[in-house]
């Protein structure tokens, strides 16, 4: 949980803040079924991107990426092909 300004500063690759006023800290990436952000234009996330191998099933509209509110849920892309 070190303080960070950019996600590249974190071993996990996710610099996370709870809201616009909070300090950003390194956080672990989102696991399956957890909320996530797709890779964003921001260096800081409100929800971390997914762990390796998972995809963030989220609203990928341009409005969502500008407002940083395009959260989704981490899913294993292999799971959907099995259903």
Mapping DSSP onto H, E and C, the string for 12-23 reads CCCEECCCCCCC
Q: Is residue 2 part of a domain?
A: no
Q: Is residue 56 part of a domain?
A: yes
Q: 6-49, pLDDT tens digit by residue?
A: 999 999 999 999 887 889 999 999 999 999 987 665 688 889 99
CATH at residue 59: 2.10.80.10
pTM of the model: 0.76
Q: How many domains does the chain have?
A: 1
Q: What is the CA radius of gyration of the chain?
A: 13
Q: Is residue 34 part of a domain?
A: yes
- Other C-beta atoms closer than 10 Å to the C-beta of 2 total 10
Domain containing 38 equals: 7-82
Q: Of the candidates 30, 32, 67, which has an alpha carbon nearest to the alpha carbon of residue 50? A: 30
**pLDDT (0 to 100) of residue 57:** 86
Q: Is residue 52 part of a domain?
A: yes
**pLDDT (0 to 100) of residue 25:** 96
């Amino acid at each position: 949980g070190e303080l960070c300004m950019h996600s590249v500063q974190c071993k996990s690759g996710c610099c996370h803040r709870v809201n616009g006023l909070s300090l950003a800290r390194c956080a672990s990436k989102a696991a399956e079924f957890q909320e996530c952000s797709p890779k964003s234009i921001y260096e800081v996330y409100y929800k971390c991107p997914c762990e390796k191998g998972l995809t963030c099933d989220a609203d990928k509209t341009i409005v969502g990426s500008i407002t940083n509110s395009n959260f989704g849920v981490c899913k294993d892309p292999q799971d959907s092909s099995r259903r």
